[in-house]
Homo-oligomer: A and B are copies of this chain.
Amino acid sequence: MREFLKTKGFKMTPQRELIFRSFFELDRHVSVDELYDKVRQQDNTIGYSTVWRNLKLICKVGLAEEVNLGDGVTRYDRVTQGPHGHLYCLQCKELVEFDVEPVLEFLTVAADEHKFAPDGIKIEIQGHCAKCRKANKKKARPVDQPAAKRLAEKRP
């Protein structure tokens, strides 16, 4: 890593070392705040801006990319294999990935038809994960009598 950065003209520091290591250890899709918290557990003198800058750096050297899910916080997604889609639970914010290989061809053609030169694609499905739905059902049942009644009445 030190060598890799050196070739790109960046220096290694204890803070950077810790931030990089923590980022790659952690699950993907971390926000600045999340990584900041994690890093702080090891060294509570590290500044927020240093974490932010190093996440940007990780992106700049191509090891991660920013992900925006429209909830106001930028997440950093480690670049691994190929492109993938995201299943984003609106309730618990869990983010799981899924393979999109089968639709790549179609999208490429679509871009082509519009004479568009694609740089990247983004495929997201927002909804509710199994866990949250189960939890909701349990909670809703006992109190949702009115709804149940309404439903029943509508069925002739």
Which A residues are closer than 8 A to B by beta carbons?
66, 68, 70, 85, 87, 89-90, 96, 98-100, 102-103, 106-107, 110-111, 113-130, 133
Task: Work out how many copies of this chain go into the complex.
Answer: 2
Chain B residues positioned under 8 Å from A68 (CB to CB): 68, 70
B122→A127 contact, CB < 8 A? no
Q: A106 is contacted by which of B87, B102, B128 (Cβ under 8 Å)? A: B102
- Please indicate the chain B residues that have their CB under 8 angstroms from the CB of A125 in the complex: 107, 110-111, 116, 118, 120-122
B126 touches A122 (CB 8 A): yes
Contact partner of A128 among B89, B98, B117, CB < 8 A? B117
Q: A110 touches which one: B70, B98, B128 (CB < 8 A)?
A: B98
Do B123 and A119 have beta carbons less than 8 Å apart? no
